[in-house]
């Protein structure tokens, strides 16, 4: 199966900017940005981020406030602070052998950096890779990681896989299967996530009087370290 997948990937693989580098910092940025965010939204933000902070050292020297402002629009803003703290740790101590020691870096992200930047023979298993593995029953190697991600994202999709164009269909025991829709996150419109995001945008633009803001959103943002509340005002950290 891996050979057929490799041929398919050579003709259909997505041209993503982080696939043109082996820099562990750039790959870490791409992986953190792509968590729960569509790839087409990530590409321009990734490129802008690397233009502003091209190395782990330059990001480490940035203020948390600037990092939060640059992250605006990507959502899940705690990721920005985690990435910033990880950069500071790497700048001070180097890349650890166990990448999960870095703030905000879980098993998948650690394996992705290890595979794509450091050349380690570990397969990073995201939702797309896991789906292809489970449906085919095949044990793929780390060399197939990028191809598996693209196949899962564009062909072996969640509900109605496109088996008619899948390079693995002939030997796949799940060929022709259909799947129940996965439980989706509630709508953003009108949600507390939206209230948090709106509040953070206001504070990112300028320091705000605490009484003018959504108190529950401010409290939640403060718990996550995304804002500071002092002397009756709310501001970004640092």
The residues annotated as belonging to the active site are 31
**What does the alpha-carbon distance between residue 137 and residue 148 come to, in Å, rounded to a whole number?**
13
| Residues with Cβ within 8 Å of residue 18, at least 6 apart in sequence | 26, 27, 29, 30, 46, 116
Query: Other C-beta atoms within 10 Å of 201: how many?
Result: 12
Place of tokens 């509630």: 186
**What does the alpha-carbon distance between residue 132 and residue 3 come to, in Å, rounded to a whole number?**
15
Taking the alpha carbons of 112, 18, 116, 162 in that order, is the dihedral positive or negative? positive
DSSP string, 202-213: HHHHS-EEGGGS
């Amino acid at each position: 199966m891996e050979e057929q997948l490799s041929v398919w990937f050579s003709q259909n693989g997505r041209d993503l900017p982080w696939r043109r580098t082996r820099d562990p910092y750039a790959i870490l940025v791409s992986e953190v940005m792509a968590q729960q965010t569509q790839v087409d939204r990530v590409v321009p933000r990734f490129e802008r981020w690397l233009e502003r902070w091209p190395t782990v050292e330059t990001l480490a020297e940035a203020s948390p406030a600037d990092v939060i402002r640059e992250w605006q629009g990507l959502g899940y803003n705690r990721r920005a602070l985690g990435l910033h703290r990880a950069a500071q740790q790497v700048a001070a101590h180097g890349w650890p052998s166990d990448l999960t020691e870095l703030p905000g870096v879980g098993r998948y992200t650690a394996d992705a950096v290890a595979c794509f930047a450091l050349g380690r023979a570990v397969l990073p298993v995201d939702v797309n890779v896991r789906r292809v593995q489970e449906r085919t029953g095949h044990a793929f190697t780390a060399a197939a990681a990028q191809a598996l991600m693209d196949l899962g994202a564009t062909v072996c999709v969640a509900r109605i896989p496109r088996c008619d164009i899948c390079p693995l269909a002939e030997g796949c025991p799940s060929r022709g299967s259909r799947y129940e829709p996965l439980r989706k996150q509630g709508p953003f419109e009108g949600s507390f996530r939206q209230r948090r995001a709106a509040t953070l945008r206001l504070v990112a633009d300028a320091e705000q009087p605490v009484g003018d803001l959504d108190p529950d959103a401010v409290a939640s943002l403060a718990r996550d370290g995304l804002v500071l509340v002092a002397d009756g005002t709310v501001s970004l950290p640092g």
